[in-house]
Every structure is written in C-alpha cells, then in structure tokens.
C-alpha cells in the first residue's frame, strides 16, 4: 500500500507521474480525516501547480472532493439546473436567472459564495435583504427549491468539505491559480449539489479573475471536459468583463437593480443579453427546450411576462424577506447617507474601463472584503456606471457614489476617475459573449 502514502503520492506527482484514481481518492480522504497534514496538502497543491493533471486525474480529484461530504439527491418533477460565474463586477445575473429558469420548469438550488477581493459575492447581495435567511438548514433549502422552483443561498451543511480545507491551504500557498485545482474546486461543490445540468459563465477582461482570453478559454474547456467526464452535462460561455456588467456595483444597489430589471422598470441590454443566454443554455441542458432559439424565447417571455419577478418575490418571502421587496425596495434596502455623482475631468467618450479598479473602489467603500472575516457594508457602492462608448460630460457622470462618509465618497470618486479612460474618439464595445464551449468541443 506504500503508493497510497501521502508522501509517495506527492513524490509521484512531483516527478511528473500520473496518479491513479485510488491514489487521489486516498489523498483526499486523508485530507478530510486529518490523516494528511497541511504541509502535505500544500506540497500536493504545489506539485499539481507545476506538473498539472490529465483530464482523468482532474475527474478523479473532482469526484473524490465531491464524495468528501454530503451529496444532495433531488426528487423533483423537473431538471435540477445551476449556473456558476467565475466572478466579476456588477455580475448580478444569478438573482434574475434563477427565477427565470424556474419560471420555465427548471429547479435551481443555487449555492453561492461570498465576495472576496474585487469581485462581489451573490451571498452578500442577498444578505442586504432584511430578514432573508441566506444560510438556512438543508431542509429549508430543499423545501424552498421544491415549492418556489429556486432557492439562492450560501454554503450550508457539509458539501465538499475537502474543498474548504484545500482551498484555505491554496489561498496561503500561492497555488490558487492552478486551472486543475480551480476546476476541481468549483465542480466538486456543483456535483455535491446533485445537479442535472450546469452552465459556466467564464469571464475574461479587466475585471475578471482570468484577464486574458486564452486563460479564460483554457479554464472553460477544463470545466466542460471534467464536468461532463464526471457525469454532469455542462457547457460554458466566455463573457466580457472589460466593464461592469450591470451599471450598479455593490450589494443593496445590485438588489435594487435586480428589482428594477425583473419588474421591467429598467432593462439594460448588456445585462439582459448575458442573463438570457446563460438561462437559455440551462433550459437546453435540462431538455426544457429543443434548441437555443426556443430556449431564448421561453426565457424572454418569463422575464417580460413578470413570471420571473413573481418567483423571485416568492423566494424572498420563503426565506424570510419582505413580501413587497420588488415593488418597494427603497423602503427595505439600506441606503448610504452620502450619494453624489462623479464627473470625468473633461467631457468625452468612454474608451475603456479598468473594471478591477471599479471593483476595488466598492471594496474600499466597505462593500467588499479583503479578508474572509471582514464585515460588509451593504448600503455602499456605485450606480449609473457609464459604459464603454458612452458620452460623459457635465450632465452624464461616470457614475454615482453611495458612501458612508464624505471622505469615503471622495476617495471612491478619485478611484472611479482613475479607472475610466475618456477620449475624443468613438469606442465600440467589445463582443459581449465571445464563444460557447460545449461538451463536444
């Protein structure tokens, strides 16, 4: 059994060998039970970082991490579907997509994360809704999914505990960027959720985790290959994060944005396109539509008819939130005391945006965190952010800052001005959805 000893597994990978599924399983079981030390887990992560894993090894790692805890089983009259985004700024898609897919007959049990660094987390957005229990017990999660059709919550129970342990070790050992480890981390949690279909929103651009398209494509291909290899039908879209996706970035401001979007008070084209495309992919994966054009039509109708809004409102109530949130969000969401527009130094057209800097401005306002234990101020953020190609002047600001104090507002205004390149030439926006990566790619 010596080849199952943690140090032998590490040595084998360090020297460029291919690990057997049983070796990977043994290592991950040891990680969960404590038989494998932190030092060994860190060495393993570094060996994988440098040597890489083949697709079968990635599948084995993902499966072992999935099996490290509870795996949900669903008995529902329709397919269980989900979407995962690699993270961005103003990426409020989940809040609209879950209800839209549920309106078309899918069941969406979405387990979302907290924000860290410059990317916002869906969980923090939900926590800005008064009364909303974002981390209910598993029974409540099951019941709301069954009765409403979607439940968007934070990580509960014991799903993929090996991932929690490995992630915290990767975080402090400079091994976060390994595509093999990112793939297993994301997918082990999704497989543990008992899904029938998953669509991945892999972002590229200045506000994305993978800023260049080659890295984003490599991650998308790995996710699609490994998920399908592990038995979960998955496709991925490469989407643009070279500017904030919604014109709002923060927590309560993004919930308010969702309320306006679902009720039809305001629908921005970029946000709508990404939401519809991802939702339509889910319907096709779940066999709720014969092809993508039928799926798009169904989603467009679910949003336009108000059915998605109604399901969102029912989900909020089922998880403890107010029954008139969509209609009266101003009554329920906390507002920042200091609200002021940020104007460009000179009029012109937005050429480009350093979206990461916009995200960091939100964190600096108190709307995000630099450490997992940091509290978040739900009221602060940015709204009315100008898009690439838009004209800004004395009337049209770069955006509106929502801050806790005058000092914070001033610092955010400086950061927003620095993040925007304004010039005289017209600037076309890049392609929003670069490509689709499917199982047969």
Q: Which of 385, 374, 382 is nearest to 403 (CA)?
A: 382
Is residue 248 within 8 A of residue 257, CB to CB? The reply is: yes
* Whole-angstrom distance, CA of residue 363 vs CA of residue 367: 5
Question: Residue 85 catalytic?
Answer: yes
Active-site choice (58, 125, 142, 170):
170
Question: Residue 330 catalytic?
Answer: no
Active-site choice (63, 118, 165, 189):
189
Dump the DSSP string for 23-39: HHHHHHHHHHHT-S-HH
Question: Residue 354 catalytic?
Answer: no
Is residue 350 within 8 A of residue 390, CB to CB? The reply is: yes
Q: Which of 236, 237, 271 is nearest to 254 (CA)?
A: 271
Active-site choice (32, 43, 68, 82):
82
* Whole-angstrom distance, CA of residue 363 vs CA of residue 357: 10
* Whole-angstrom distance, CA of residue 145 vs CA of residue 231: 22
Question: Residue 122 catalytic?
Answer: yes
Active-site choice (32, 122, 247, 355):
122
Active-site choice (185, 188, 244, 349):
185
Is residue 419 within 8 A of residue 358, CB to CB? The reply is: yes
392 strand-pairing partners: 348
Active-site choice (58, 63, 84, 165):
84
Question: Residue 190 catalytic?
Answer: yes
Helices (H), 53-198: 55-66, 93-103, 122-126, 138-148, 161-171, 179-192
Question: Residue 82 catalytic?
Answer: yes
- Four-residue CA torsion sign, 285, 288, 290, 292: negative
Gyration radius (Cα) of the chain, Å: 22
Instruction: Beginning with the edge strand found earlier in the chain, give each strand of the sheet holding 433-437 in spatial order.
Output: 81-85, 197-204, 234-240, 433-437
In a 3-state reduction of DSSP, which class is residue 151?
strand
Active-site choice (32, 68, 85, 178):
85
Helical packing angle, 292-304 and 269-285, nearest 10°: 120
Active-site choice (83, 125, 164, 203):
83
**b or e along 418-441 (b: 16 or more beta carbons within 10 Å of the residue's beta carbon)?**
ebbebeeeebeeeebebebbeeee
Question: Residue 298 catalytic?
Answer: no
Active-site choice (142, 190, 203, 217):
190
Residues noted as catalytic: 82-85, 122, 170, 185, 189-190
């Amino acid at each position: 059994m010596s080849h199952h000893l943690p140090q032998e597994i590490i040595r084998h990978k360090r020297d460029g060998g291919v690990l057997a599924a049983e070796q990977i399983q043994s290592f991950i079981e040891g990680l969960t039970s404590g038989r494998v030390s932190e030092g060994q887990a860190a060495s393993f992560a570094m060996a994988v970082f440098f040597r890489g894993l083949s697709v079968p090894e990635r599948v084995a790692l993902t499966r072992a991490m999935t099996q490290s805890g509870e795996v949900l089983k669903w008995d529902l009259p329709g397919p269980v579907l989900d979407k995962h985004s690699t993270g961005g700024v103003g990426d409020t898609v989940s809040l609209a997509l879950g209800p839209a897919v549920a309106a078309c007959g899918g069941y969406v049990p979405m387990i979302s994360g907290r924000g860290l660094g410059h990317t916002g987390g869906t969980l923090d957005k939900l926590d800005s809704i008064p009364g909303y229990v974002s981390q209910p017990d598993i029974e409540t999660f099951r019941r709301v999914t069954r009765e409403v059709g979607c439940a968007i919550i934070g990580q509960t129970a014991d799903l993929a505990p090996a991932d929690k342990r490995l992630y915290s070790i990767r975080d402090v050992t400079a091994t976060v960027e390994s595509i093999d480890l990112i793939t297993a981390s994301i997918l082990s949690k999704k497989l543990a959720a008992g899904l029938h279909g998953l669509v991945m929103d892999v972002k590229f651009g200045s506000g994305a985790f993978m800023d260049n398209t080659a890295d984003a494509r490599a991650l998308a291909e790995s996710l699609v290959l490994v998920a399908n290899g592990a038995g979960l039908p998955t496709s991925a879209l490469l989407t643009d994060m070279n500017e904030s996706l919604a014109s709002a970035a923060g927590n309560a401001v993004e919930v308010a944005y969702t309320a306006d979007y679902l009720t039809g008070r305001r629908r921005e084209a970029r946000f709508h396109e990404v939401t519809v495309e991802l939702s339509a992919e889910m319907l096709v994966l779940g066999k709720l539509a014969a092809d993508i054009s039928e799926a798009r039509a169904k989603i467009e109708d679910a949003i336009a008819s108000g059915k998605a809004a109604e399901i969102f409102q029912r989900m909020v109530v089922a998880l403890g939130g107010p029954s008139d949130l969509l209609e009266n969000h101003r009554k329920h969401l906390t507002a920042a005391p200091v609200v002021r527009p940020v104007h460009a130094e000179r009029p012109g057209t937005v050429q480009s945006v350093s979206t990461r800097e916009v995200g960091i401005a939100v964190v600096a306002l108190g709307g995000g965190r630099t450490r997992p234990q940091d509290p978040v101020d739900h009221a602060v953020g940015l709204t009315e952010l100008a898009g690439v190609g838009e004209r800004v002047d004395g009337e049209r600001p770069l955006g509106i800052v929502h801050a806790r104090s005058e000092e914070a507002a001033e610092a955010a205004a400086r950061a927003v001005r620095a993040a925007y390149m304004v010039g005289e030439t017209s600037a076309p926006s890049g392609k929003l959805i670069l490509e689709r990566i499917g199982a047969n790619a």
